[in-house]
Structure 1
Amino acid sequence: MAEESKSPIKFLRDVGREMKRVTWPTRQELVKYTGVVLATVLFVTVFFALVDQGLSYLVRTFLQ
């Protein structure tokens, strides 16, 4: 089984062809998805901060 070696030029042409076939999101979809991602990151950050504070409190209570 021989490996086909592609030239960098052919590779970039193939990439360009594939990029034209991609269905890109509209601006409105992009803004909506960005809001969802930011809200999720904020929620996870607050959740883990609260869990961290709670566990820290428990550890300090048991060690005293």
Structure 2
Amino acid sequence: LLAAAPDHPRAAESVLSIANCQIEMKDSAGARKTLTELVRDYPQSEAAQAARERLAKLR
């Protein structure tokens, strides 16, 4: 979805799902990178707010 349609209405949710998978796989560095990109690329999305909260817990 992200490669084909980065402007899709659910793109930010998709990025958040990827980060959640990384967290479950104990890939904290990857999750931090993904969450940071989500906040940068989709700052006004609801997913970005959730990403900010998850980032605070990962640091």
TM-score normalised over the length of structure 1: 0.30
Higher CA-based Rg: 1
Q: Greater relative contact order: 1 or 2 (C-alpha under 8 angstroms, separation 6 or more)?
A: 2
